Structures are given as C-alpha cells and as structure tokens.
Amino acid sequence: MYIVDSARATNPTTFMSNMLYACSILYRTKLPFIVVFNKSDIVKPTFALKWMQDFERFDEALEDTRSSYMNDLSRSLSLVLDEFYCGLKTVCVSSATGEGFDEVMTAIAESVEAYKKEYVPMYEKVLADKRQMDEVEKKKKEEEALKGKPVHDLKKPTGDEDDDLDLNTKVDRIHLGGVDEENDEDAELERD
C-alpha cells in the first residue's frame, strides 16, 4: 500500500510527485498495489480520483496554479501515467472517522488472491528460467575451462615408471560399510 496525504496532494504537482513515486514502487516490487488516500475527513480525495480518470481535469488544475516548467512536466507525465492509473486500486480512508477501512480490507483480500493466482506462478517461472540459465552458464564455464587443456589417452601408456595404476581395471564391488569394514577389506586386498 502506498499512502497519499490527501490534504497535501491538492496541489497538482505534489499529486504528480506522489503518483510517480507510487508507480516507481509498483514496477520495482512487481507486487499487488493499493494507493490509499488518507485524511478523507479533512479533504475529500475525489479530486485526485477525478484527476486519475480524466486528463482534462488534471490539466485544468495545472492551469489554475502558477505556470512553471513543473506544469509542463506534470502534464506530460499525466499522459504517460494513464496506463498506470487503469489497473490501480485506490481507497479513501480516515483514521479519525473509520471511513474506508472496510474497503481497505477488501482491497487487501483481493491483492492476496491476485498474489497467489498471478504473481506466485510468475515468480516460479522466473526462478525456473533462472535456474535453467544458471545451469547453461555453468556448463559453458566448464567447457571454457577445459578448452586448451591437454587430453590424455587413458589406454595409451605414458612411459612413467611410477604409473602403476591401471585405469581400465573393472571395479567388481562397491563398499557400503563403515570404516572398520573398509579397513578389513583393504587388508584383504593387500594380502591377495
């Protein structure tokens, strides 16, 4: 939830600053998002809801304030944020009167359901894709590490007298016991 102070957001440029910050948080977190206009007992935030639905009203409010480069920027940003406003949940509340808290709880419940149905599967897919990409990258790194290294033929003798180990010896059993059993088996092999 992003809380907007309704009394302070009556200025269109302040309102736009709040909406840009909310938009930034939404796209950074990629989670269900609710904008809560508080202090609705002091200033009814219907002006903000109208600005979000109708660019012309927001433009008129900008014209009523003194002209500056901020007005031009706010006007342009308002057009850009039109898509952001479309799917945005908004609630008006007052902690003094309790107005709107049922709507907040409803919006939270809807957001929890949206998280479970939309976001969790999306994150699971992203994690699976990341694991797959990590595996591919790991294989590439292993291949790169092996490039240029000499390859030895295990069947061909190297000529070293210390190389008594026959790498082609067939292993006919696998040890599954503990340390004592392993030591006994090693002792038997040495006697043979």
* Digit-coded pLDDT (tens) for 52-91: 887 778 777 777 666 666 666 676 666 666 667 777 788 8
Check residue 183 and give its pLDDT: 66
Question: If you average pLDDT over every residue of the chain, what do you get?
Answer: 77
For each of the domains in the chain, give its residue range(s) and CATH number, in order of start: 2-116 (3.40.50.300)
Complete DSSP assignment for 23-58: HHHHHHH-S--EEEEE-TTTS-THHHHHHHH-HHHH
Check residue 120 and give its pLDDT: 87
Please say if the pLDDT value at position 17 is more than 80: yes
pLDDT digit string (tens) for 170-192? 545 554 555 666 666 666 766 65
Phi, psi of 90 (to 5 degrees): -130, 145
Q: What is d(CA 23, CA 33) in angstroms, rounded to the nearest whole number?
A: 9
Q: What is d(CA 115, CA 20) in angstroms, rounded to the nearest whole number?
A: 23
Q: What is the mean pLDDT of residues 129-149?
A: 85
Q: What angle do CA 85, 86, 92 make, to 5 degrees?
A: 60
Residues in the chain: 192
Q: What is d(CA 192, CA 186) in angstroms, rounded to the nearest whole number?
A: 10
Residues paired with 35 in a beta bridge: 2, 90
Residue type, 94: S
Owner of token pair 């790194």: 141
Check residue 181 and give its pLDDT: 65
Tell me which of 120 and 179 has the higher pLDDT.
120
Please say if the pLDDT value at position 137 is more than 70: yes
Check residue 175 and give its pLDDT: 47
